[in-house]
Structure 1
Amino acid sequence: METFESLVRAEFAPKNTFLNTASSGLLPARTVAALHQAVQLRADGAPLDPLFEDVEAARASFARLAGVPVGRVAAGSSVSAYTGLVAASLPAGAEVVTAEDDFTSVVNPFHVRGDLKVRIVPLERLAESVRPGTALVAVSAAQSADGRIADLPALREAAREHGARTYVDFSQAVTWLPMDADAYDFTVSVCYKWLLGPHGAGFLVVPEDFGALTPILAGWVAGENPWDSCYGPVTELAHSARRFDLPPALFSYTGVRHSLALLEELGVDAVRTHDLALADRFRAGLATLGHAPLPAPGSAIVSVPGLGHRQPELSRAGIEVSNRAGNLRASFHLYNTTADVDRLLDVLSS
């Protein structure tokens, strides 16, 4: 019987100590093989049907991970595109509440509208800042810069009390933070970080009634019968969230299909336990070195003030982390080990 460790070791063999999933995750071996096959299929001039089937298989897999029916999942390419879709649905003058210094893709489309009231508040005050008249609250489940986790249960209650909708980006949290997409109006995630896929794929989860979204980006793939919707206006939009699909980057979705299959095989509960244990080990080691990370309990992302300048040195030593606003950011995922954590601590102690 294969164990968690044996499954992971069969899929990953990085040539360095890679602790930077918050920037971009590693591709599993099965995903790399599938991408090669997809490229060869294109080179051979074969029909593309298998690649479109990969989109649907990936959509179904993500729906299971998010805990929602597949009919509520739209397939696209980026968070910013779907934030723009949500922003476009709001009436002029609507109030949107966002967190300070949240990732640009989550907030900027609301600002460029020019006719919305965007209120920016500290992350820890997000729920208490929802008030009568707030139309939408938009936030990352985990902050990119430092791994802080939004108080999503409090936000959900505040939004329900005041009739506001919620838009939550799980790009930096999916797999190590439970993703109950049914608890929010809209949830979104890219696939190239914790979901271990190539760049160019992402998913949006919408309510059963579509949450008053207008499919302003709809092209032929958003038709109920896409191949009958190639010319002229789409006469019948998809009856599901597929009406919000964007033309798929087929190679990316081929990769995502196989990466998500691995995550399902491993089990997200096991992935979560593994990731958070490594992050806690790093925090404990930092304390012995006299360093205090920014407070982000329960996060797989650890950000250490004042050490960002050591990122180039660490990279030369074969350890990949990030420098974010002067902070050294390390992020831990299923392919990392306790030896990776200890190696980072050893170099930091020198």
Structure 2
Amino acid sequence: METFESLVRAEFRPENTYLNTATSGLLPARTLAALQEATAIRAAGRPLDPLFEDVERARAAFARLAGVPASRVAAGPSVAAQTGLIAASLPAGAEILTAEDDFTSVVNPFHVRGDLKVRAVPLERLAESVRPGTALVAVSAAQSADGRIADLPALREAARAHGARTYVDFSQAAGWLPIDADGYDYTVATTFKWLLGPHGAAFLVVPEDLGELTPLLAGWVAAEHPWDSCYGPVAELARSARRFDVSPGLFTYSGVHSSLTLIEELGVAAVHAHDLALADRFTRGLARLGHEPLPAPGSAIVSVPGLGSKQAELSRAGIQVSDRAGNLRASFHLYNTAADVDRLLDALD
């Protein structure tokens, strides 16, 4: 019987101490094989049907992780593109509530509209800052810079009380933190971080009634019958969230599907326990060294003020972390071990 450790060992053989999943996750061996097979199909001139099927398999796998039907999941290229779709649906003058210094892809499309009222407050005050007239609250489930986790249940209740819609980016959470996409109007997640996929895919979950979104980027793949909609205006848009699809990078989705199968086999609950145990080990080790990370309880991301300048030195020593806003950011995922944590602590000592 395969265990968590044996499954992981079979998929990953990093050449260094990689503690930087919050920037980009490692690709599993099965994903590399899927990418190679996808390119071989193109190179050989074989029919591309299996690659289009992988798009639907990836959509279905993400839907299972998100706890929603696949009919509510749209496939796009990036979080910024999906946020832009939501920003375009809002009426002029609408108020958007965001967290201060949230990731740019989550907030900037609202700013560039130019005719929306974007209000930013500290993450800890987000729920209490929802007010009558707030049209949408947009926030990352886990903050990229420091790993802080938003109080999503409180936000959900506050938004409902004031009639506001919610938009939650799970890019720094999907794969290690359970997702309850059904509790929010819109959710999004890129796949190249904790979901371990290639770059170039982001899933958007929309309401059952498809919300108030206009499929501005709709091409032939957004049709109810795509292969009958290659020329002229689309006669009928898909009756599901697929109407918001952008023509997919087929290689990417073949890789994403394979990566998601690994997450499903391991189980998000097991990954969550593994990642947080390592983050806790690092936090306790920092205390012994006289360092205190930024408060981010329950997060797999740990950021330490004042140590960001050590990133280049650590990289030369074969330890991959990030420098974010002057903080040293370490992020712990399923392929990391206690030995990885201890090596980073030794290097910081």
Q: TM-score range by the shorter chain?
A: over 0.9
The normalised TM-score by structure 1 is 0.99
Aligned to 2:344: 344
Partner of 2:168: 168
- Paired residue type of 2:112: V
- Alpha-carbon distance in structure 2 between the residues aligned to 1:214 and 1:39: 34
| Cα deviations by residue, 1:212-254 (Å, 9 ceiling, x for unpaired) | 1111111110000011111111110000000000110100000
Deviation string, structure 1 residues 75-115 (Cα, Å, up to 9, x no partner):
11100001000001100100000010000000000001011
- C-alpha separation between the residues in 2 aligned to 1:41 and 1:309? 45
1: CA distance, partners of 2:249 / 2:214: 22
Q: Which one-letter code corresponds to 2:277 in the other structure?
A: A
| Unmatched 5+ stretches in structure 1 | none
Counterpart CA distance in 1 for 2:255 and 2:14 is 18
1:249-289, Cα deviation, whole Å (9 max, x unpaired) = 10000000000001111111101110111001100000000
Q: Which residue identity lines up with residue 10 of structure 2 in the other structure? A: A
Aligned twin of 1:73:
73
Is the CA contact 2:177–2:268 (under 8 Å) kept in the aligned structure 1? no
TM-score (norm 2): 0.99
Which one-letter code corresponds to 1:325 in the other structure? A
Q: Displacement, 1:175?
A: 2.1
- For residues 160-188 of structure 1, give each alpha carbon's deviation from its aligned partner in whole angstroms, at most 9, with x where no partner exists: 00000000000001122221000000000
Aligned residues: 349
Matches within 5 A, 1:51-200: 51-200=51-200
| Secondary structure of the structure 2 residue equivalent to 1:211 | coil
Aligned equivalent of 2:15: 15
What letter matches 1:125 in structure 2?
R
> Matched residues in 2 for 1:154 and 1:123: separation?
12
| 3-state SS in 2 of match to 1:135 | strand
Aligned to 2:212: 212
C-alpha distance in 1, partners of 2:127/2:345?
A: 36
Matched, 1:4 2:8: no
Of all paired residues, the percent bearing the same amino acid is: 81
Aligned pair 1:332/2:338, yes or no?
no
Cα deviation for residue 36 of structure 1 reads: 0.7
CA distance in 2, matches of 1:176, 1:258: 17
Q: Tell me the equivalent position of 2:267.
A: 267
CA distance in 2, matches of 1:229, 1:295: 52
Whole-angstrom CA distance in 2 between matches of 1:175 and 1:42: 30
Residues 1:296 and 2:296 aligned together? yes
- Please give the per-residue CA displacement for 1:124-163, whole angstroms capped at 9, x wherever unaligned: 1100110001000000001000001111011000000000
Moved over 3 A (4+): none
CA distance, structure 1, for counterparts of residue 198 and residue 33 of structure 2: 13
d(CA) in 2 for partners of 1:159 and 1:63?
Answer: 24
Amino acid at match of 2:152: L
Structure 2 counterpart of 1:299, which letter? S
- Unpaired segments of 5 or more residues in structure 2? none
Q: What's 2:44 paired with?
A: 44
Aligned letter for 1:145? A
Deviation at 1:56, TM superposition (A): 0.3
The letter for the 2-side match of 1:95 is: E
1:69 counterpart letter in structure 2: P
More divergent stretch after superposition (330-339 vs 211-220): 211-220
SS at match of 1:238: coil
CA distance in 2, matches of 1:164, 1:272: 30
